[in-house]
Amino acid sequence: MAVESQGGRPLVLGLLLCVLGPVVSHAGKILLIPVDGSHWLSMLGTIQQLQQRGHEIVVLAPDASLYIREGAFYTLKTYPVPFQREDVKESFVSLGHTVFENDSFLQRVIKTYKKIKKDSAMLLSGCSHLLHNKELMASLAESSFDVMLTDPFLPCSPIVAQYLSLPTVFFLHALPCSLEFEATQCPNPFSYVPRPLSSNSDHMTFLQRVKNMLIAFSQNFLCNVVYSPYATLASEFLQREVTVQDLLSSASVWLFRSDFVKDYPRPIMPNMVFVGGINCLHQNPLSQEFEAYINASGEHGIVVFSLGSMVSEIPEKKAMAIADALGKIPQTVLWRYTGTRPSNLANNTILVKWLPQNDLLGHPMTRAFITHAGSHGVYESICNGVPMVMMPLFGDQMDNAKRMETKGAGVTLNVLEMTSEDLENALKAVINDKRKKQQSGRQM
């Protein structure tokens, strides 16, 4: 078995079991190398559960991380990188801004390519500084870690794992270009497995299958730009020829933050475990502030609205169109938004800088969820049986929205083209159509 192939360390299986619930008899020392942003936020609940089961967790992250900070249930080790926190923030913010630019297809392709190349170079430089930090690498080697838990979206951590001869557990949603299929030698037919960003379902026409294949080829080009430098860096550092597939195929267990409740049927391998929805298993009591909002909403209840952590502001015209639609429904709307307050914001709409999303979605007075269809929020919506109005912005969000709309759990809107009336009608449809709520709740 793959679990036993890495020096006979049974702790990998123990880690897997404790993530899924049962308590193991042996607590271990875990080196965790995360990816900043929503990837990191999706790991926090799992890390906390591991710590509560007696495991010692050391988180290794760049000193310029935007979201990765000191925590009560892990020890944080940072290392210097040749960029600042402001650079990381600018990268996140610029991604949110470009979503609302009404560019031509060619302009979007060029901008996307330039941004990917720029961000990839920055992240690669951070990886290089980690690997060539001799004092830190020596300290890690002497720390006697039992296992590494990491998100392989950036393949720097697998290089560290190979250098330290650690068995590895991957914790991820998916990889670009279907690299997880290649690394695990898992079948990945063009005929019924839709490629990322294709917005195809598993029932494709001939032309959609051709599109599926062409998208795969084009994504391979972009992935070569992003990932091939890591193979070069790994070969230099490990002093042997290494490919990206070599780095990724070393994982003992793949924990996917997905589930067939959302995804289409596809082949899987024995060391793939699906833990989609793990982030919504635990709910906390609401603060007095949010309880007051809900109590004041009366019989109509509330609508939760969040476009994620990367979108801090929306163009004024679009924000006003959204505010106009929200003012035409009887529900109280809790809108996570830090941008300029729309001048036409209605009395039923409350702007907040942050909201306890999963806890609010779990409240029986929540009627709908307006979301960008990030995987984190989608699973929280499914867990709590809340129908969605989805406004996908970038990345896998379009695919997530397509899947959930196909399953009848929500309605999708094009955020660039939608009108105030479109949003109003979509909200009324998901709130008043009991089948939407039933379908959303039936997914789990």
Domain boundaries, the chain: 2-276, 288-442
- Does residue 139 register a pLDDT over 50? yes
Average pLDDT over residues 150-160: 96
Predicted pLDDT of residue 22: 42
Q: Bigger pLDDT: 18 or 51?
A: 51
Q: What is the pLDDT of residue 10?
A: 41
Which pLDDT tens digit goes with each residue over 232-286?
999 999 999 999 999 999 999 999 999 988 889 999 999 999 998 887 877 789 9
- The sign of the CA dihedral 62, 63, 68, 70 is positive
More confident of the two residues 366 and 220: 366
- Secondary structure (DSSP) of 414-436: -TTT--HHHHHHHHHHHHH-HHH
Q: Which range has the worst mean pLDDT, 16-20, 137-141, 180-184? A: 16-20
Domains 2-276 and 288-442 share a fold: yes
Q: Is residue 202 over pLDDT 70?
A: yes
pLDDT at 165: 96
For 336-365, what is each residue's pLDDT tens digit? Answer: 998 899 999 999 999 999 999 999 999 999
Flag whether pLDDT at 181 surpasses 60.
yes
Residue 96 has what pLDDT?
Answer: 67
Is 157's pLDDT higher than 90? yes
Q: What is the pLDDT of residue 199?
A: 83
Residue 314 has pLDDT above 70, yes or no: yes
- Region 2-276: CATH code: 3.40.50.2000
Q: At which residue do the structure tokens 């990268």 appear?
A: 91
Higher pLDDT, 433 or 211: 211
Q: Which has more pLDDT, 243 or 8?
A: 243
Rounded Cα–Cα distance for residues 188 and 192 (Å): 9
* pLDDT at 331 exceeding the cut of 90: yes
Mean of the per-residue pLDDT values of the chain: 88
- Per-residue pLDDT band for 437 (boundaries 50, 70, 90) equals low
Q: What are the beta bridge partners of residue 148?
A: 31, 168
Report pLDDT for 104.
74
Confidence of residue 200 (pLDDT cuts 50, 70, 90): confident
Helix, strand, or coil (residue 86): helix
Cα–Cα distance for residue pair 41/27, rounded to 1 Å: 24
Has residue 169 got a pLDDT over 60? yes
CATH class of 288-442: alpha beta
Label the pairing between strands 388-390 and 366-371. parallel
Is residue 11 pLDDT above 70, yes or no?
no
- What is the pLDDT at residue 36? 93
Dihedral sign for Cα 184, 189, 192, 196, please: positive
pLDDT of residue 218: 86
Give the pTM: 0.84
C-alpha 372/C-alpha 269 separation (Å) is 30
